[in-house]
Amino acid sequence: MESRVRPDQQQAFDHKFADDYRNKGIISEGHYVWVRQRRMRLAVDRVLELLDRDPAELSALVVCGGTGAEASYLADRGFGEVTNSDFSSSALEVAQKRDGRLAVRTIDIEANDVPDESYDVVMVHDGLHHLTRPVQGLNEMIRMARLAAIVVEPHLSLVGRLIGTEWEKVGDAVNYVFRWDHDLFAQTARSQLVREPTHIWTKRLWDHNQAVSKLSDWTDDETTKMAITRAVYGALSPVNRFGNNFLGVLVK
């Protein structure tokens, strides 16, 4: 199949990951690690509960996985075999150096020859909204998954419309920030499976990484930064149903 659908974006991420790794060694830091793990925990708890399976028996593939934070999280949760994939070779190099438990695989999610149902669970975190064909990206995940797909992406929201990023830039490459909601996720699954999926679960949450960073910039103390982070997200949780972050779990 044709590959390199977005050579500009692939090069931009290649440079970004190579530079970030040279400079910092890891990509996400501090309170953002907590925010990311919180949403992954909610989605992974849900998928394990719905599948009612021991994660050690399951293989997992992360697509658009960058330097492998989500893959490491799945390995921490006890998934038997975890593969981190991306179209950026420098991202995969970093992932391999960071975490020896991970297998890595170059996959362009918009153009690849991964066989159907190759992995039990397929996950994406902040990847689909970089694609020129985000819905096709989800279709590909559903195709590659034997049992379930997990999506963590921006949610359509008023806040997103008013102050969210519409056009995102990485280096010189630009992408439209595509946002999901329950109906779009469910319709994509139904039309692809040509039946009602076994389970569809979605949730909205808040992600105000930049605002929280600003609020906690005055201190270098990680404990205080974490206390501020927990307080902000705790205060927002009663209104999670208006949140700007989408969690979706599909059990085929």
Ligand X SMILES: C[S@@+](CC[C@H](N)C(=O)[O-])C[C@H]1O[C@@H](n2cnc3c(N)ncnc32)[C@H](O)[C@@H]1O
Instruction: Give the residues lining the site for ligand X (CB under 6 A).
Output: 5-6, 9, 13, 64-66, 69-70, 86-88, 91, 107-110, 125-127, 130-131
Residue with tokens 């039309």: 191
Which CB atom, from 46 or from 129, has the smaller least distance to ligand X? Answer: 129
- Minimum CB separation of residue 158 from ligand X in Å reads 23
Which residue is at the shortest CB distance from ligand X?
A: 66
37: which 2 tokens?
């793990």
- Minimum CB separation of residue 216 from ligand X in Å reads 20
The DSSP annotation for 154-218 comes to EBP-HHHHHHS-SEEEETTEEEE---B-HHHHHHHHHHHHTS--SEEEEEEE---HHHHHHHHTT
Which CB atom, from 127 or from 243, has the smaller least distance to ligand X? Answer: 127
Give whole-number Cα distances, 61 to 20, 91, 105, 125, in Å.
24, 15, 9, 12
Which CB atom, from 65 or from 243, has the smaller least distance to ligand X? Answer: 65
- Minimum CB separation of residue 231 from ligand X in Å reads 24
Which CB atom, from 169 or from 190, has the smaller least distance to ligand X? Answer: 169
The DSSP annotation for 194-205 comes to TS--SEEEEEEE
- Minimum CB separation of residue 4 from ligand X in Å reads 9
